[in-house]
Amino acid sequence: MASRLRAPVALAASALLFYFGTGFAPIPALTWLAPLPVLLLAPRVSARTAFCVAFLAYLLGLSNQFEFFLKTPSVPLPIGITIVIGTSLLFGLVAWLFRALLLRGLPLLAASAPPAVWVAFMYATVLANPTGIVWPLATSVADVPVVIQIASVTGAWGVEFVVLMVPAAIAAVAWPGAVTGARLRTGVAGVAACAVVLGFGALRLADAGGPAAQRVAVLSASRFQWAPDAAGPEAQALVKEYAEQIAALPEGTMAVLPEGVLGTDEDSLAGALQPLRAVARERGVDVVIGIVHTTPEIKYNYSVHLPSDGSAPVSYTKWHFAPGVPFRRGDELVFAHGHGRDVGLANCMDLNFPTPIRDYALAGARLLATPAADEFGNGRQHSRNALLRGVESGLSVAWAAQQGTPMISDPWGRVLAETDTESSSPFVMAAAGVPEGPGTTVYARFGDWFAWLCLVLAAAGGLRLVRRGSSAPETAGTRRAAPIAHGA
């Protein structure tokens, strides 16, 4: 009876832990525990059962995001379904590979190769998916700064890897079928990896901070209005209200407004920006605003900087869009006028990709002013994705969301200020002084080297599995599992 309950209990436990430990409002401690019940089960059941239980556990855990993928216009439904089913299948593959390696007497490889497979497939997603990636595990622990500092070296891939490696190492050490020496080596390797991640994080955070180099405020109307016609009364009233909010800011502030605040055309653009340009000049405040601009030929999604000295606006064209969106794609870095190369302009989905963020860091930027949209509850998760991009490349991020979590983070991934657009106030604002930061990171210089390393490790795990095959020495543990674990 007890053996029959193993699979449903592990399925329910991991599904609940994934549900509450990942997604839009995760509990970070549960993120680390979520894979553990399935991985503990895997060597004790057949390969098919291990795969199916892992697949279903992750799929059920993702049910906290089903509504978003069904409704969002940012991710086409076929891509959303592919993400949900694909990541669930991937976790099934992780459990299958973990089981196979463990039963062949390779606990250390069982603890490291499956997380590498997870990262390798996620990296392939970035290369193939036109909407980029929002890291499922790394964003869930992004509010634990000591853990995410490793992203400055490995990219957020390193965070994804270690969050999955820890439960894999625990499950491998807990398997009684492995010989004592191999279990000991696996445990030591797991502890060492955690010590490196946490030790590096503590050392990097010890140098965090410093005097504020730039005062930043992110502003958002609490009512969602996507690109209202600038010539219409609603948009004009909205601009007037934003101008009043900006007028109350201290001189020298950079105010970042959301994506798609206004919809303009050739006739309305100059007049629509005039009230904001006037208050920027009068108050000595830089303003960055998101605009959807339509021409007879094509649309543009701009992040526009209105300089505090009254000089001409500077426009950045968004680089990345969902498929089928009729916008011109940008390919140039644009810096806020009057700030040298310290402040780069970006836009929402751009931070789902390594470029142009790494490019800005290599060009000397210290702050990303980022108008954003967000929707259907994903605001917190997307803001943490932006935060992780900042850690990767050593940048502060001013994330001004239309709907969700306007946020300011420093280059160490610490949230300096944030707010929520779910508010009874007509406007919400978060403000903070951002430090200069540590400068260009290892990740900014060398890019996705860790993801490529994971590709190599995943291939090595697969090759070792094939070569080891049925020639692996049989242990007491594998003999006990044999009746239900054959066919690995």
pLDDT tens column, 281-317: 999 999 999 999 999 989 999 999 999 999 999 999 9
Residue 20: C-alpha distances to residues 24, 81, 87, 269 (Å): 9, 21, 17, 45
In this predicted structure, what is the pLDDT of residue 330? Answer: 96
Q: What per-residue confidence (pLDDT) applies to 2?
A: 65
pLDDT in tens, 37-95: 999 999 999 999 999 999 999 999 999 999 888 888 778 888 889 889 999 999 999 99
As a whole number, mean pLDDT of residues 394-409 equals: 96
pTM over 0.85: yes
Q: Is 395 within 8 Å of 436 (Cβ atoms)? A: no
pLDDT tier at 361 (50, 70, 90 boundaries)?
Answer: very high
The one-letter amino acid code at 481 reads A
Segment 387-396 mean pLDDT: 98
pLDDT at residue 487, rounded to an integer = 34
pLDDT score at 485: 38
pLDDT at 469: 64
Q: Report the pLDDT value the prediction gives residue 225, as an integer from 0 to 100.
A: 87
pLDDT on residue 378? 85
Distance CA(361)–CA(269), nearest Å, equals 31
pLDDT reported for residue 486: 36
367 strand-pairing partners: 343, 396
Q: What are phi and psi of 408, to 5 degrees?
A: -125, 125
CB-CB neighbours of 344 under 10 Å: 26
| CA–CA separation, 282 and 384 (whole Å) | 34
User: What pLDDT, on a 0 to 100 scale, did the predictor assign at position 125?
Assistant: 82
Confidence class for position 479, pLDDT limits 50, 70, 90: very low
Over residues 2-27, mean pLDDT: 93
The arithmetic mean of pLDDT across residues 153-176, rounded, is 97
Which pLDDT value is given to residue 130? Answer: 87
Average pLDDT, the chain: 92
213-234 pLDDT tens trace: 999 999 999 988 899 999 999 9
Q: Report yes or no: 329 and 300 within 8 Å, Cβ to Cβ.
A: no
Rounded to whole angstroms, the Cα distance separating 151 from 204 reads 11
pLDDT of residue 376 exceeding 80, the answer is no
Please state the rounded mean pLDDT for residues 243-253: 96
Reported as a single tens digit per residue, the pLDDT across 410-437 is 999 999 999 999 988 999 999 999 998 8
pLDDT exceeds 90 at position 461: no
Average pLDDT score over residue span 446-450? 97
Task: With a cut of 90, say whether residue 129 has pLDDT above it.
Answer: no
CB 426 within 8 A of CB 222: yes
Which residue would you say has higher pLDDT here, 487 or 160?
160
The whole-number average pLDDT for the span 125-136 is 88
- Give the whole-angstrom CA distance, residue 59 versus residue 264: 42
Query: Residue 446's CB: how many other CB atoms inside 10 A?
Result: 13
Model confidence band, residue 447 (pLDDT cutoffs 50, 70, 90): very high
